[in-house]
């Protein structure tokens, strides 16, 4: 692409497009991508970037994968989209059966939606409609964890941290939920009774109005990239059972191998009543999410006065997306993905370790294919983003976090380049 074409592309973007979490005018530079293959993004000026973000954690197989390409092309010639009200199609049925088989026993019903945020909205509505169907409409509040993140739509925003989260500006308009402290127990450590004291009190005092506890198992993602003990999940499940409250797991970021288990809940052996999946579901090719629930939820809603679950996205169970998801899951399971993720964890840990010596760094941590450098002060995106591009890597920090969640297909040499760039840029900051 010529310099003039590059300038025209950037000018057109700045005049017409509003990017996420950025001002419409005067925001940080954006970098035009014209193609992508494997773990590399090619910019319009010919530069190539090693993608350390897997396009916000979803492109686990990298880009332009022949298996996923064939899945899209094949389905395109059959049916690209059809409404899901009153109709069904083979990719949706096969994908639902796969998800039921892969997830823990009991999660036997699948509701498809468009995105992770909507999957969380669906879970919230399932929980509330369930209790309404049991003539207990007073159980309509949700109990979430501080430092959590569950999406950008109104309902999902109400579950994000109300103080430190990205959505504090909307506090006066969001539904008022309850919040327990973020788990402080480390991933490899125990979870004491003292750690559970406040959430226990909240459930004891408010179980009459709480429909469900909602949390991200093991890894709190965009709320801080924090890892915590699997024992916490075991104790929360016991509390929910004791106080007759549903349990919702948001595995949109952690599902499909990111933490070293196919689903993060497997670290604890705990089964929620409702499970949200998304992001890596289609290998990053297109948007699709799923909310799974148990027979208790399904029967409670179906046998109620309404007789139906009151939700129905236009592009629900899109055939192209379902076919691609099937191919992505089959591709993942056909490979030694556990060894691959373990290798990535080892290499991320080794590559990021030098950052611990830097004065600006508060902590360095890794789990599965997640590597995090937490700084003492927030980064300036206008400064930090071009520094990474100059080093040939794509890393998108936020707040105090400089982190990587690379595609699983990233080789050792590229991981070394990625982590070296992260440490180098942090050192400059």
Domain extent listing, the chain: 3-64+336-428, 70-333
Q: Which two tokens stand for residue 153?
A: 């739509």
CA distance 332 to 351: 25
Structure confidence at residue 166 (pLDDT):
79
Structure confidence at residue 163 (pLDDT):
87
Q: What topology does CATH give the domain 3-64+336-428?
A: 3.90.1150
Catalytic option among 7, 21, 241, 244: 21
pTM: 0.97
Q: Is 403 a catalytic residue?
A: no
Average pLDDT over residues 277-284: 98
Average pLDDT over residues 186-208: 97
Residue 251 has pLDDT above 90, yes or no: yes
More confident of the two residues 165 and 326: 326
Structure confidence at residue 183 (pLDDT):
97
Average pLDDT over residues 305-331: 96
CA distance 343 to 412: 8
Residue 1 has pLDDT above 70, yes or no: no
Confidence band of 333 (pLDDT split at 50, 70, 90)? very high
Q: Is 228 a catalytic residue?
A: no
Average pLDDT over residues 226-237: 98
Structure confidence at residue 402 (pLDDT):
98
CA distance 305 to 300: 10
CA distance 93 to 85: 14
Average pLDDT over residues 97-125: 98
Structure confidence at residue 236 (pLDDT):
98
Average pLDDT over residues 27-44: 94
Q: Is 250 a catalytic residue?
A: yes
Express each pLDDT in 145-178 by its tens digit: 999 999 999 999 999 999 888 788 898 899 999 9
CA distance 137 to 128: 8
Residue 136 has pLDDT above 70, yes or no: yes
Contacts of 8 (CB under 8 A, 6+ apart): none
Express each pLDDT in 254-264 by its tens digit: 999 999 999 99
Q: What is the mean pLDDT of the chain?
A: 96
CB atoms within 10 A of CB 86: 5
Residue 306 has pLDDT above 90, yes or no: no
Structure confidence at residue 171 (pLDDT):
85
Catalytic option among 63, 130, 149, 228: 149
Express each pLDDT in 338-382 by its tens digit: 999 999 999 999 999 999 999 999 999 999 999 999 999 999 999
Query: Whose structure tokens read 């799974």?
Result: 292
CA distance 141 to 343: 42
**What is the C-alpha end-to-end distance of the chain, expressed in Å?**
32
Q: Is residue 281 within 8 Å of 112, Cβ to Cβ?
A: no
Interior/surface letters 376-385, b for 16+ CB within 10 angstroms, e for the rest:
eeebebeebb
Percent of the chain exceeding pLDDT 90 equals 90
Express each pLDDT in 50-94 by its tens digit: 999 999 999 999 999 999 999 999 999 999 999 999 999 999 999
> Sheet holding 48-51: strands in order across?
33-37, 40-43, 48-51, 393-394
Contacts of 143 (CB under 8 A, 6+ apart): 177, 178, 179, 180, 199, 202, 203, 206, 210, 212, 213, 214, 245
Catalytic option among 250, 285, 400, 408: 250
Q: Does domain 70-333 have CATH number 3.90.470.10?
A: no
Nearest-10 Cα torsion for 374, 375, 380, 384: -70
Catalytic option among 125, 141, 279, 400: 279
Structure confidence at residue 25 (pLDDT):
86
Percent of the chain exceeding pLDDT 70 equals 99
Q: Is 408 a catalytic residue?
A: no
Structure confidence at residue 376 (pLDDT):
97
Residue 4 has pLDDT above 80, yes or no: no
Closest CA to 126 of 317, 263, 300: 300
More confident of the two residues 349 and 26: 349
Structure confidence at residue 361 (pLDDT):
98
Closest CA to 403 of 390, 384, 383: 384
């Amino acid at each position: 692409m010529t310099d003039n074409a590059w300038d025209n592309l950037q000018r057109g973007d700045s005049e017409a497009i509003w990017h996420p979490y950025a001002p419409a005018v005067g925001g940080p530079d954006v970098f035009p991508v014209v193609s992508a293959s494997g773990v590399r993004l090619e910019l319009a000026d010919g530069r190539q970037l090693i993608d350390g973000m897997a396009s916000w954690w979803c492109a686990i197989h990298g880009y332009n994968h022949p298996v996923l390409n064939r899945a899209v092309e094949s389905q395109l010639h059959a049916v690209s989209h059809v409404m899901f009200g009153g109709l069904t199609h083979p990719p949706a049925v096969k994908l639902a059966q796969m998800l039921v088989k892969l997830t823990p026993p009991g999660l036997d019903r699948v509701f498809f939606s468009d995105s992770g945020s909507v999957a969380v909205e669906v879970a919230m509505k399932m929980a509330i409609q369930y209790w309404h169907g049991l003539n207990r409409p007073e159980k309509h509040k949700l109990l979430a964890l501080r430092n959590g993140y569950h999406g950008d739509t109104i309902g999902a925003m109400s579950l994000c941290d109300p103080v430190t989260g990205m959505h504090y500006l909307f506090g006066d308009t969001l539904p008022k939920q309850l919040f327990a402290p973020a788990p402080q127990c480390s991933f490899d450590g125990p979870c004491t009774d003292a750690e559970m004291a406040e959430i226990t009190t909240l459930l004891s005092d408010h179980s009459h109005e709480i429909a469900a506890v909602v949390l991200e198992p093991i890894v709190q993602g965009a709320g801080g990239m924090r890892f915590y003990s699997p024992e916490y999940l075991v104790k929360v499940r016991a509390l929910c059972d004791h106080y007759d409250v549903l349990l919702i797991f948001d595995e949109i970021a952690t599902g499909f191998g990111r933490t070293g288990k196919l689903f993060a809940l497997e670290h604890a052996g705990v089964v929620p009543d409702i499970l949200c999946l998304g992001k890596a579901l289609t290998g990053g090719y297109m948007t699709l999410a799923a909310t799974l629930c148990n027979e208790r939820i399904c029967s409670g809603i179906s046998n109620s006065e309404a007789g139906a679950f009151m939700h129905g996205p236009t592009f629900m169970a899109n055939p192209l997306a379902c076919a691609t998801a099937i191919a992505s899951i089959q591709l993942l399971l056909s490979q030694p993905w556990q060894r691959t993720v373990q290798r990535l964890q080892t290499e991320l840990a080794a590559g990021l370790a030098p950052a611990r010596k830097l004065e600006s760094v508060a902590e360095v941590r890794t789990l599965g294919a997640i590597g995090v450098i937490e700084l003492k002060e927030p980064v300036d995106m206008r400064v930090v983003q071009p520094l990474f591009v100059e080093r040939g890597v794509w890393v998108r920090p936020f707040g105090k976090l400089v982190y990587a969640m690379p595609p699983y297909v990233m080789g050792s040499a590229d991981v070394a380049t990625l982590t070296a760039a992260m440490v180098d840029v942090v050192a400059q900051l």
